[in-house]
A and B are shown apart, each in its own frame.
Chain A
């Protein structure tokens, strides 16, 4: 395998959690809910997936645990913002703070243990295609899932009736309510889907990216995923493009060091965060396009009239 392929492989590994978490959040935001707790759900997913894998010995049960923990954890957010109409920004922050705390506590006993890496699933014949084969057909389950989720979400949002309903809830909850759509239930489901995706993204971190548990191991990826949704102007395929771009930026530090480029490591570590800021500036300085793309009810609470 050439050096170029090796680099691309690490880019894919770094991009997968970003793509997953961002696509989940995209669905949540398309339903009009801004969940800033992605980081918290992701780190919970990472911790629960790792612990479940260590206890049961099966990384596949670990994946399930990651998904379940993310979805359950997001229910907390849903209950506060949807049932109790609490402020979404503040509640999202609370979810992140609580997630970092709880994951640190339950994961403490597992710090330093070496985990079980999720095995690769090799497609016969296809994986022998030069260049493309090892990149796309010799990956772990979570990578395939990430692609499936993007395809599925794209189909759901723009080709299915339920997706149309979900988008209408996000664009005008009052009209959707008048049409008889259960706004709150739709939003609960969207929030849980976002949580499940963030949990799966976390599972990727602790089962594939670095198969171990480190406190705060999500390291801001949840926030970068939030920025990706804006970058992608709420469209699933653009999330993939953005995710891979960010994946490339975030692994540049490893390769820069390997090539002996004399820049302090801290500056390279700061690159993904700086890149996020630059991207946000580029995407949002045109006020009109931002307005057109943003779900019109994003972040606004809904209390049905009785």
Chain B
């Protein structure tokens, strides 16, 4: 048996919508098999992984808190990936934003003013953008592969944060724990809805997604991004600059990742610790693809991936399976998303024997 691809005359709209759904279904099936192998009842396991977290108000709030950084980062990455710039260092930009934004509440903690919070958010965006500016500069002006440089900088950012919270920024009254002082109330991102913990980071995420959706759909910039991503040559003929696009997409995604970082620290953790992210920057790559690089799709995808984090925690408590299951689910999901995307541009044919293959070849 062989698999043959036949290019569709045009992109299939049906499968553009269906492919993420098929991917999710496949993930569930494989996830069920995995739970079976782990000796759990797959139905109850999947239920406690994917349904139970949706049944309580507090856990819906947790979902929004976890979805906020995923959506913010994922939306920025979608602009990068659409324009063919492979920023995979959003995790580092998230940390850089968190550090830059925390300068005010940690170093200038005696300054109490309503200006603190907006300045923190700005600094966070600036920090993320500057950190993404390094691979952008290297790619735009020195022709250096952005995939590797942006990823290497993740490790650098993690180590820098580790050094800060164990050294100069350690809480003087914190019994030597590696963490900064907790933020003053003026530096804490307020809650958005009265019923629970969801902070304004989620609001920013939705706003950013809608704004970028508008940009991609209705503005010249959006057109420029798409054209340069699909054919650099065609873009050059249209007078678009690849170099400027590298800067634009990287700085934009860096700023959004930085905003996600400071929003997470200020809204959810309220201090810096050696580890402030369960891999949001990498999971957001999955979010971007599951949302088919469409900002509105990314909102949904962000909620789905946030659910895998919550489900992992829930399954650990109720089933006693490792929370590592979350990462497996996320990896499986990305695999299925990428394979289902083939359906959009190709018809997949199963050819049962070599004979029919040669027969059709002869007919052409």
Residues on A lying within 8 angstroms of B by beta carbon are: 36, 76, 80, 83-87, 89-91, 93-94, 97-102, 104-105, 108, 215, 220, 223, 226-227, 230, 264, 266-267, 269-270, 273-274, 276-277, 280-281, 284-285, 287, 290, 303, 306
Decide: A306 near B364, CB < 8 A? Known: A97-B282, A269-B159, A284-B142. Answer: yes
Contact of B5 among A36, A85, A89, A108 (CB under 8 A): A85
Which residues of B333-364 are within 8 A (CB) of A?
Answer: 334-335, 338-339, 341-342, 346, 348, 360-361, 364
Residues of B within 8 A of A215 (CB): 324
Taken together as a complex, chains A and B put the C-alpha atoms of A97 and B327 apart, in Å, by 7
B184 within 8 Å of A (CB atoms): no
Decide: A84 near B5, CB < 8 A? Known: A269-B159, A306-B360. Answer: yes
Taken together as a complex, chains A and B put the C-alpha atoms of A67 and B6 apart, in Å, by 35
A-B contact pairs, 7 of them (CB 8 A): A84-B339, A86-B339, A90-B289, A90-B334, A94-B335, A215-B324, A284-B143
The total of chain B residues at the interface (CB under 8 A) is 51
Query: Would A93 and B324 count as touching, CB distance under 8 A?
Result: no
Decide: A102 near B156, CB < 8 A? Known: A276-B148, A280-B145. Answer: no
Taken together as a complex, chains A and B put the C-alpha atoms of A273 and B328 apart, in Å, by 26
Query: Would B152 and A230 count as touching, CB distance under 8 A?
Result: no
Decide: A93 near B88, CB < 8 A? Known: A83-B3, A270-B156, A281-B144. Answer: yes
Taken together as a complex, chains A and B put the C-alpha atoms of A100 and B148 apart, in Å, by 18
Residues of B within 8 A of A91 (CB): 335, 338
B39 CB → nearest A CB, Å: 13
Residues of A within 8 A of B322 (CB): 104-105, 108
Q: Which B-chain residue is minimally distant from A283 (CB atoms)?
A: B144
Query: Would B330 and A267 count as touching, CB distance under 8 A?
Result: no
Query: Would B152 and A102 count as touching, CB distance under 8 A?
Result: no
Return the CB mask of B315-339 against A: 1 if under 8 Å, else 0.
Answer: 0000000101111111110110011
B329 CB → nearest A CB, Å: 8
Taken together as a complex, chains A and B put the C-alpha atoms of A264 and B161 apart, in Å, by 12
Contact of B338 among A90, A104, A273 (CB under 8 A): A90
Q: Which A-chain residue is minimally distant from B346 (CB atoms)?
A: A85
Query: Would A220 and B155 count as touching, CB distance under 8 A?
Result: yes
Decide: A230 near B289, CB < 8 A? Known: A97-B282, A274-B156. Answer: no
Residues of B within 8 A of A99 (CB): 331
B94 within 8 Å of A (CB atoms): no
Chain A interface helix/strand/loop/mixed: helix
Residue with the greatest number of chain A CB neighbours at <10 A, chosen from B285, B332, B335: B335
Return the CB mask of B4-45 against A: 1 if under 8 Å, else 0.
Answer: 111100000000000000000000000000000000000000
Q: Which A-chain residue is minimally distant from B139 (CB atoms)?
A: A284
Taken together as a complex, chains A and B put the C-alpha atoms of A220 and B153 apart, in Å, by 11
Taken together as a complex, chains A and B put the C-alpha atoms of A113 and B4 apart, in Å, by 47
B238 within 8 Å of A (CB atoms): no
B130 CB → nearest A CB, Å: 16
Query: Would B144 and A273 count as touching, CB distance under 8 A?
Result: no
Residues of B within 8 A of A90 (CB): 81, 285, 289, 334, 338
Decide: A93 near B167, CB < 8 A? Known: A105-B328, A280-B145. Answer: no
Taken together as a complex, chains A and B put the C-alpha atoms of A105 and B324 apart, in Å, by 5
Contact of A277 among B153, B160, B348 (CB under 8 A): B153
B316 CB → nearest A CB, Å: 11
Query: Would B342 and A270 count as touching, CB distance under 8 A?
Result: no
Query: Would B338 and A277 count as touching, CB distance under 8 A?
Result: no
Residues of A within 8 A of B51 (CB): none
Query: Would A97 and B159 count as touching, CB distance under 8 A?
Result: no
Query: Would B335 and A80 count as touching, CB distance under 8 A?
Result: yes
Residues of B within 8 A of A76 (CB): 335
B223 CB → nearest A CB, Å: 22
B52 within 8 Å of A (CB atoms): no
Return the CB mask of B122-164 against A: 1 if under 8 Å, else 0.
Answer: 0000000000000000100011110111011101100110110
Q: Which B-chain residue is minimally distant from A103 (CB atoms)?
A: B324
Taken together as a complex, chains A and B put the C-alpha atoms of A287 and B338 apart, in Å, by 31
B301 within 8 Å of A (CB atoms): no
Which residues of B188-235 are within 8 A (CB) of A?
Answer: none
B183 within 8 Å of A (CB atoms): no
Contact of A80 among B5, B285, B339, B361 (CB under 8 A): B339
Query: Would A270 and B159 count as touching, CB distance under 8 A?
Result: yes
Decide: A266 near B160, CB < 8 A? Known: A97-B327, A102-B328. Answer: yes
Residues of A within 8 A of B360 (CB): 306
Q: Which A-chain residue is minimally distant from B2 (CB atoms)?
A: A83
Residues of B within 8 A of A101 (CB): 324, 326-331
Minimum-distance CB pairs A-B, first 7: A98-B331, A101-B327, A266-B163, A94-B334, A101-B328, A104-B324, A105-B324
Query: Would A223 and B334 count as touching, CB distance under 8 A?
Result: no
Residues of A within 8 A of B145 (CB): 230, 280, 284
A26 CB → nearest B CB, Å: 15
